[in-house]
Amino acid sequence: MRTTVDADPYAWPYDGVIDPEHTALICIDWQTDFCGPGGYVDTMGYDLELTRAGLEPTAKVLAAVRSAGWTVIHTREGHRPDLSDCPPNKLWRSKNIGAGIGDAGPCGRILVRGEPGWEIVPEVAPIAGELVVDKPGKGAFYATDLDLLLRRGGITHLVFTGITTDVCVHTTMREANDKGYECLLLTDCTGATDVGNYQAALKMVTMQGGVFGAIAPSSALLAAIGE
C-alpha cells in the first residue's frame, strides 16, 4: 500500500505517497554504550529506561519495513582505538563527567570501535544486507559515506529511529534536511537521557511548518504501510 503518514505538522511525505524504493529507515546508535547496562550512558548515571524506551517499537518497525523491502541503515558512534579521531574537547568533557571515552568499563573501552559496548543491541541488530555506517561524531553525515550511499541507492526520504533524540538523531535529521532529504522522526522509536530534552527536540521539528520535517508515532507509519 502506498499512502501518507498521519504526521505533525503535515501528512508525510509532503510530495506524494510513501515509495519504498526511495525511502530508508535510519536506525541511529542503538548501541550498548547508549542503552545497555555498563555502557557509556549507564556509566554517566542516566536512567537506561529512557534510552531503551524506543527499542520495542523500533523492532516492530524494522520487521515491517524489512517485509516491505525498504532500505535499512544502522549507525554506530565510536572512535578509533588510538582516539586519533576524537576531538580534544569531546574527550575532555567525557572524562570530566567520569565516563572518559577510551577508558575501560564493564563493556570494554567506552565508545571505541570493536568493543562490546560499541555493538548494536540484539533487539534491533542489523541483518544480512543492511548497511552499517560508523561515525566519529553526533551527526551521521559527518565524516562518513552516508550521503553517498543514500544517493547511490536512489533514496530521497528518510524515517528516523534511535538515540538520543536531542543529540545524534536531531543532528542527523538537521543534516539530512539541509541536504534535501524529506524526513520523518518516529516519536516512540527514539529516546533521550532527559524527558524535557526529548519533548523539546520533538517540538523543534514541528516549528515553522516542519522546519526539519515531521514527527509521528510508529503506529501511524505502520498503518500507512498496511501493517
Active site residue 47: no
Q: Pull the grid cell for residue 12.
A: 508525510
Task: State the DSSP code for 161.
Answer: E
Distance of CA 139 to the CA centre of its chain: 9
Q: What residue type is 152 in one-letter code? A: R
Catalytic residue, chosen from 27, 35, 107, 168, is 168
Q: Taking the CB of residue 151, how many other CB atoms lie within 10 A of it?
A: 12
Q: Pull the grid cell for residue 69.
A: 523491502
Give me the residue label for grid cell 526539519: 212
Active site residue 86: no
Count of helices and strands (H, E) across the chain: 9, 8
CA pair distance 225, 62, nearest whole angstrom: 12
Catalytic residue, chosen from 8, 42, 107, 135, is 135
Catalytic residue, chosen from 29, 33, 42, 166, is 29
Q: Pull the grid cell for residue 10.
A: 503535515
Active site residue 29: yes
Q: Which residues contact 220 (CB under 8 A, 6 or more apart)?
A: 5, 6, 7
Instruction: List active site positions.
Output: 29, 135, 168
